[in-house]
Amino acid sequence: MKDVRKPTENDSGQSIVEYAAALALVAVVVIASLSALGVKISGTVENTASALPGGDTQSDPVLYVAGIELSVNPGGQVRVTASVTVFDEDGDGVRRATVSASWYVNGTLVETDSDGADGRGRARFTYRSRDLEQGDVVMLTVTNVSASGYEYDSGSNAETSDDILVP
């Protein structure tokens, strides 16, 4: 049997606007009741359209930073290398993910860079300087990750920054 509902109606024939208004009213009543009981409510609501009947419930798979590894090669020109690993929600490396990052020395931004991840989901970065001295702290902070068909969830990152001490 063919579905003859209008795309703006739910299973009961109620308009989606009426349905959304009813849901919003219920949410307000619940929040007010919890607040009256002394429960603190905080946070944000995102992607509300996907909660509506007929809304898009399909979301992009998530990717996140699984780890950052730093190493330092002291000498005349100190070289700090970083490997940033990007995984999807299944724990697989995300090939061709673009990782954007910033280098800091002793808390001061000195360089920004981006790199594409290899087949294992690893992007590599290198910072070189003749001005680095023993005891300087060099830090890499991931500022963004993107890949076609994925959504970056920075809240799932195992780490977003890592630092190393120049020996």
What residues are paired with 127 via a beta bridge? 80
CATH label of the domain that carries residue 81: 2.60.40.10
pLDDT at position 59 is: 87
pLDDT at position 45 is: 42
Q: Which domain holds residue 21?
A: 1-59
Angle ∠(157,147,138) on CA atoms, nearest 5: 45
- Asked if residue 66 and residue 147 are part of one domain, the reply reads yes
- Asked if residue 82 and residue 10 are part of one domain, the reply reads no
pLDDT at position 75 is: 83
- Asked if residue 159 and residue 77 are part of one domain, the reply reads yes
Closest Cα to residue 111, out of 102, 120, 100? 102
Q: How do the pLDDT tens digits run along the chain, 167 residues long?
A: 434 434 444 555 555 445 444 444 444 444 444 445 555 444 444 444 444 445 555 689 999 999 999 999 988 899 999 999 999 999 999 999 999 999 999 999 999 999 999 999 999 999 999 999 999 999 999 999 999 999 999 999 999 999 999 99
- Asked if residue 145 and residue 84 are part of one domain, the reply reads yes
- Asked if residue 154 and residue 107 are part of one domain, the reply reads yes
Closest Cα to residue 69, out of 95, 101, 112, 105? 101
Q: How far apart are CA 32 and CA 41, in angstroms?
A: 10
Overall number of domains in the chain: 2
Name the token pair of 44.
């944000």
**70, 82 contact by CB (below 8 A):** yes
What residues are paired with 65 via a beta bridge? 86
